[in-house]
């Protein structure tokens, strides 16, 4: 099975904790031993947020901020690579072709961001499209897709299953504001829709959940079905 895992920055590196990164590496190694071909795309997390805040104060424009964020995601990718040790492309690929090439050769590929104006959520969806993945997992700090923001709306209800098309409909209004309550970026949702990939949105703060979801389909997040 070919799987792409998007590990949000808030999941992998809210702060720099080697144990948390190690735990994610352990899951990837375990999935790899079970025969999965794997790509991972990691976000920026706390360090990215700090750098971006400081750069904004210094007058950087939005594209410059995105570039700084991308650089941090690539360092985070190096951290996960260091934790994986072997069986992994030792350099974070900068485009889908290099990542796909690594996966074809039997390595795990760990990417960060690719270009300004595009989140790592969208990168993960495009990588999954490119390698014709069987499954795309979003390991986020939310535990699935809700019909409203569960942080502010006590009546928010989680979807167990959504079609990709419904996902776009649900995400679109949520991604309207800067304070983005959407668990997955809208562009990512549209890429999922156009490719018809099977996807899961789940709470990745305990990485063991990713493993169970991939290997046994056992999770309490949201299934996105083609």
DSSP calls for 20-48: HHHHHHHHHHHHHHTT-EEEEEE--HHHH
* Contact residue for a second copy among 33, 155, 178, 216 (CB under 8 A): 178
Residues 63-92 as x/- pattern, contact with a second copy by CB under 8 A: xx--xx--xx-xx--xx--xx-x---xxx-
State which residue, 92 or 221, has the beta carbon closest to a second copy.
92
Residue with smaller CB distance to a second copy, 90 or 226: 90
Q: Does 136 bind a second copy (CB under 8 A)?
A: no
What are the residues whose beta carbons fall under 8 Å from the beta carbon of 173, sequence distance 6 or more?
none
Nearer to a second copy, 198 or 219 (CB): 198
Q: Does 28 participate in binding a second copy (rule CB under 8 A)? A: no
CA dist., res. 40 & res. 8, Å (int): 10
Cite the beta strand spans of the chain per DSSP E: 2-7, 37-42, 109-111, 135-140, 161-163, 199-203, 222-225
CA-based Rg of the chain, rounded to a whole angstrom? 16
With CA atoms as reference, report the closest residue to 187 among 83, 106, 112, 117: 117
Among 7, 11, 12, 25, binds a second copy (CB under 8 A): 25
Altogether, the residues listed in the chain come to a count of: 226
Binding site for a second copy (CB under 8 A): 16-18, 21-22, 25, 47, 50-51, 54-55, 57-64, 67-68, 71-72, 74-75, 78-79, 82-83, 85, 89-91, 95-97, 100-101, 104-105, 114-118, 122, 125-126, 129-130, 132, 168-169, 172-173, 176, 178, 186-187, 191, 194-195
């Amino acid at each position: 099975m070919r799987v792409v895992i998007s590990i949000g920055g808030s999941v992998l590196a809210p702060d720099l904790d080697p144990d948390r990164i190690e735990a994610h590496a352990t899951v990837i190694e375990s999935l790899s031993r079970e025969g999965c071909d794997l790509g991972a795309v990691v976000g920026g997390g706390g360090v990215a947020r700090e750098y971006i805040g400081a750069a904004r104060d210094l007058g950087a424009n939005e594209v410059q901020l995105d570039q700084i964020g991308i650089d941090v995601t690539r360092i985070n990718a190096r951290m996960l690579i260091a934790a994986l040790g072997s069986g992994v492309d030792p350099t974070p690929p900068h485009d889908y072709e290099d990542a796909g090439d690594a996966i074809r050769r039997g390595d795990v590929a760990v990417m960060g961001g690719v270009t300004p104006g595009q989140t790592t959520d969208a990168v993960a969806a495009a990588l999954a499209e490119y390698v014709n993945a069987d499954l795309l997992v979003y390991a986020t700090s939310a535990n699935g897709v809700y019909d409203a923001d569960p942080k502010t709306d006590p009546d928010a209800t989680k979807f167990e299953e959504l079609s990709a098309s419904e996902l776009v409909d649900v995400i679109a209004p949520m991604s309207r504001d800067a304070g983005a309550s959407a668990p997955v970026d809208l562009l990512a949702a549209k890429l999922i829709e156009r490719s018809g990939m099977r996807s899961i949105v789940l709470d990745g703060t305990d990485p063991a959940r990713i493993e169970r979801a991939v290997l046994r389909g056992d999770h309490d997040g949201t299934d996105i079905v083609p």
